[in-house]
């Protein structure tokens, strides 16, 4: 099973579920390497998934993810709130949305919101995927840096790097990309 397929299983993506699910799966494959294409596919999945609520929620998550990677944090925040508030959002997907909210909040200058958004993700411990915990820790590091807490930045980034390095579900290239992002956050504070 590919790392993307494992990740899809982890967040409850329906395999071969229809046009919307197929578009979500394609967007998942492209999200790190071509977020602009992932955004287009996610938008199409939302349009096509009028009768598949889970696919629409997953597509919204991927759109938020892509918008964050493209630096369009305000749009991302606006789009993720309905999915976070939706009672039908599965817990794993809700955690992913909270990590994206944290990244939006940091980029928009609200470190307190960022730290609050990832609290539940970090409290879940081993119940969340290592890559998701790593993303939450990167958001903690970014928020802590903005608050002048360099001690927290260092420990959060070290743990995130270790999680990315040791996560067997990540392919080599994605692990390198995520570890480079950790180093970029570290370099930005110096």
Q: How do residues 48-107 score in pLDDT, each as one tens digit?
A: 998 899 999 999 999 999 999 999 999 999 999 998 999 889 999 999 999 999 999 999
The verdict on residue 103 lying in a domain is no
Number of domains in the chain: 2
Judge residue 110's burial from the number of C-beta atoms within 10 Å of its C-beta, 0-12 exposed, 13-18 middle, 19 or more buried: middle
Per-residue pLDDT tens digits for 134-172 = 999 999 999 999 999 988 999 999 999 999 999 999 999
Query: Global pTM?
Result: 0.85
Domain that holds residue 34: 1-89
The verdict on residue 70 lying in a domain is yes
Residues 119 and 182 in one domain: yes
Residues 119 and 84 in one domain: no
**Long-range pairs, 38-44, Cβ under 8 A, ≥24:** 38/62, 38/63, 38/65, 38/66, 39/63, 39/66, 39/67, 39/70, 42/66
């Amino acid at each position: 099973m590919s790392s993307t397929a494992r990740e899809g299983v982890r967040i409850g993506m329906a395999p071969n579920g229809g046009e919307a699910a197929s578009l979500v799966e394609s967007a998942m494959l492209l999200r790190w390497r071509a977020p602009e294409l992932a955004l287009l596919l996610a938008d199409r999945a939302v349009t096509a998934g009028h009768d598949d609520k889970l696919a629409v929620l997953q597509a919204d998550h991927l759109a938020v993810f892509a918008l964050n990677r493209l630096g369009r944090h305000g749009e991302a925040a606006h789009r993720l709130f309905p999915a976070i508030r939706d009672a039908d959002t599965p817990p794993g997907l809700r955690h992913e949305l909270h990590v994206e909210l944290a990244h939006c909040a940091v980029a928009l200058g609200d470190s307190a919101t960022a730290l609050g958004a990832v609290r539940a993700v970090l409290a879940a411990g081993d119940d969340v995927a290592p890559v998701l915990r790593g993303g939450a820790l990167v958001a903690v590091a970014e928020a802590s840096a903005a608050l002048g807490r360099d001690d927290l930045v260092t420990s959060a980034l070290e743990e995130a790097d270790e999680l990315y390095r040791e996560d067997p579900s990540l392919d080599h290239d994605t692990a390198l990309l995520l570890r480079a992002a950790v180093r970029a956050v570290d370099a930005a504070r110096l």
